[in-house]
Amino acid sequence: MGSIILHISDLHVSLDKKIGGESNPHDSYLSTSLDKEPSFQFIDRFIDTIKKDFPASRIYLLVTGDITNAGEKKEFEFALEFLNRMILGLSINTEDILLLPGDHDLNRRSMEILLVNKEDSTEAEINICKYKNFSEFYYGLLHKEFDPNAVICSTLIVNDSILLLGLNSSIQINLAQRLGIIPLQMFEEELAKVPSLKDFKVIACTHHNLTSSYEDKNNGQWEPSNRDVFISKLISSGIEFLFTGNEHSNSAKSIKNGHLTASDAGTISSKQYESTFKVYEVTINDDIILSNKIYVLQKINNNDLPYQWDIRTNDRFDQPDSFTVSQKKPPEIDEHITEMVVDLDDRITLDSEVVENDGNKNEVADYYYDPEFSDVLYDQMRKINVFHSGHFHWSETSRAHNWIDVSKLIEDKETLDILMNAIADVINVKEIYKDLDLIIGLGYEGNIIASKSVLKYGMPYSFLPYSYRYEEHHKFEKELNFGNDDGKFQNVLIITDVVNDGRTIRKLIKKRHGDFFSNVKNVFVVSLFYTGQESINKNILNFNYLSNQPWFDKENDEEVNNITFYTIKTLKVEKCPYGKDFRQQCFIYKDSLSCVNLFYDESKYLKK
């Protein structure tokens, strides 16, 4: 017998009439109308669909809030009846249900009355008051108490492998606060008390959405000051998935370069928006995989076949067919890099890749991301149109089919300010400035974008040409101009515009300026873009890490293992698929079919 997680959200069971008897226009198919048949019919068609598609499955029910529209007692009475009908019809054990409150489940009217009578009410008192109706409903449905002052409402274990962690993102919502928040200290304290947490793959569940697919913003309906720390806490706790509702838009979206994936069920009952829910079929073998099935309600207008649900393919909906919650073996990378068409409309990030460090999958990724800089940088790149496709050769071994023309990006004064501030922000956020002894700007662009940080942090500074351009420069321009025999420079920061596999940086450290760097303890590298193929993490430029990758060419590289790397934005570019024999194998180069852009003098190689 298989299992499914049935994810519904935002039922918004609504008052049919306002208090006093006036008609109450509302958006939900589920209402408190005395004529319950339309609501029952809606529930029954839903039950039919699930029973038909998953006839012998154990059903775990996840309800991510907004059961009612206004948290009114009458709404909850009807909601209890509707959900009981659903549970009974689908033979769901009440122990297999995780139900969270949404911001529409708290009763604002009672909160107002409380504050009128007792203006200095504590947050705990307000929570008890605002969730009074919900608590009664909760007990009536699940036969257990709801704690209005706990961040972790409840947990649900699925197939002894997955733990759904129910979080109350409305806990601090009151008459003034409307966005989702998870108080971090409470979360940490309560999380520490969840038994056997390490034995499960944890999926966090909240009502509020941490990101958006309908609204044109990344922050979702979440308090910005809380969002970043909460995301960081989830990631550092090994939580890589988040199931939400609230936005009334069915979606799946990556956050923080794919380290957290959010799946939103949408609203199950909306006349205005598209009504949707999700079914995650649970497959557990070596890996734990959840299929991502999206159900959509056919829009009806007194049709003969009301409330029909059908499954939607994800092909053009920008959602994966499945979520790999846990993977026993790390993903294998093809030795042969296949050609792909680069489309700027398709953000080429590492969204779906698994974080991995030196083969240890569970190690938490350390990387930089701030939408103020990471997303803005990407937007500027698109706006100024500096992402080029073609054949770009930087050296005999470094060739790609894409090029980010950063020199063009920095021509714009406002963009240059953003780039400089972004670099300075990485140094600040990652606290690189502490104990830093020297900054090196690499290349024209690195030299330019470094200047603000150099002045801001008052650091000794030098700049060097790109490795592939070394021979073109005057001998004085190739000097580092600092000696390090006495080990004075222990921590050195290299600022550059684009890093691919980091070969040129390792060459710089080991070969070009080996004497200086032999006494350097830590080399920090900060770039605007990372264009390589690894999941972003701070150690992906180190030789030992790369040695584990099948594509890595050890012979032509330098053994450097003290690099800590941060980048503002990750963009995967397509590498040239040919090897040393590209002059013979690449017909585009060989027959001059298209423009091949050379960043180096290849004449000396041609003579050989």
Is the CB of 19 or the CB of 455 nearer to other proteins?
A: 455
Among 150, 416, 586, 588, binds other proteins (CB under 8 A): 416
State the Cα–Cα distance between residues 167 and 151, nearest whole angstrom: 5
Using rule CB under 8 A, residue 411 touches other proteins: yes
Is the CB of 476 or the CB of 587 nearer to other proteins?
A: 476
> Burial, 412: exposed, middle or buried (Cβ in 10 Å; 0-12, 13-18, 19+)?
middle
Q: Could you give the angle at the alpha carbon of 22 between the alpha carbons of 21 and 27, nearest 5°?
A: 115
Is the CB of 330 or the CB of 390 nearer to other proteins?
A: 390
Q: What phi and psi values does residue 67 have, to the nearest 5 degrees?
A: -65, -40
The CB-of-248 to other proteins minimum distance in angstroms stands at 38
Q: Write each residue from 439 to 458 as x if it is in contact with other proteins (CB under 8 A), else as -, in one continuous string.
A: --x-xxx-xxxxxx--xx-x
Is the CB of 178 or the CB of 473 nearer to other proteins?
A: 473
- Contact indicator for 190, 152 with CB cutoff of 8 Å: yes
Is the CB of 379 or the CB of 477 nearer to other proteins?
A: 477
Residues 477-536 binding other proteins (CB under 8 A) are: 477, 479, 481-482
The CB-of-303 to other proteins minimum distance in angstroms stands at 54
- Contact indicator for 153, 135 with CB cutoff of 8 Å: no
Is the CB of 444 or the CB of 578 nearer to other proteins?
A: 444
Using rule CB under 8 A, residue 40 touches other proteins: no
Distances (CA, A) of 195 to 157, 166, 236, 362, 463: 11, 14, 18, 19, 53
Among 140, 238, 320, 460, binds other proteins (CB under 8 A): 460
Among 413, 434, 607, 608, binds other proteins (CB under 8 A): 413
Buried-state track 185-207, b at ≥16 Cβ within 10 A, e below 16? ebbeebbeeeeebeebbbbbbbb
Q: Could you give the angle at the alpha carbon of 185 between the alpha carbons of 182 and 188, nearest 5°?
A: 90
Using rule CB under 8 A, residue 408 touches other proteins: yes
Host H or E run for residue 231: helix 224-236
Q: Tell me the site size for other proteins, rule CB under 8 A.
A: 45
**Site stretch for other proteins (CB under 8 A), options 254-262, 273-281, 330-338, 414-422:** 414-422
The CB-of-339 to other proteins minimum distance in angstroms stands at 20
The CB-of-461 to other proteins minimum distance in angstroms stands at 6
State the Cα–Cα distance between residues 440 and 450, nearest whole angstrom: 8
Q: Write each residue from 580 to 599 as x if it is in contact with other proteins (CB under 8 A), else as -, in one continuous string.
A: ---------------x-xxx
Residues 366-395 binding other proteins (CB under 8 A) are: 385, 388, 390
Q: Could you give the angle at the alpha carbon of 128 between the alpha carbons of 14 and 104, nearest 5°?
A: 25
Q: What phi and psi values does residue 390 have, to the nearest 5 degrees?
A: 155, -155
Is the CB of 210 or the CB of 406 nearer to other proteins?
A: 406
State the Cα–Cα distance between residues 83 and 77, nearest whole angstrom: 10
Task: Please count the other Cβ atoms lying within 10 Å of the Cβ belonging to residue 224.
Answer: 11
Q: Which residues bind other proteins (CB under 8 A)?
A: 385, 388, 390, 405, 407-408, 410-413, 416-417, 420-421, 441, 443-445, 447-452, 455-456, 458, 460-463, 465, 469, 472-473, 476-477, 479, 481-482, 595, 597-600
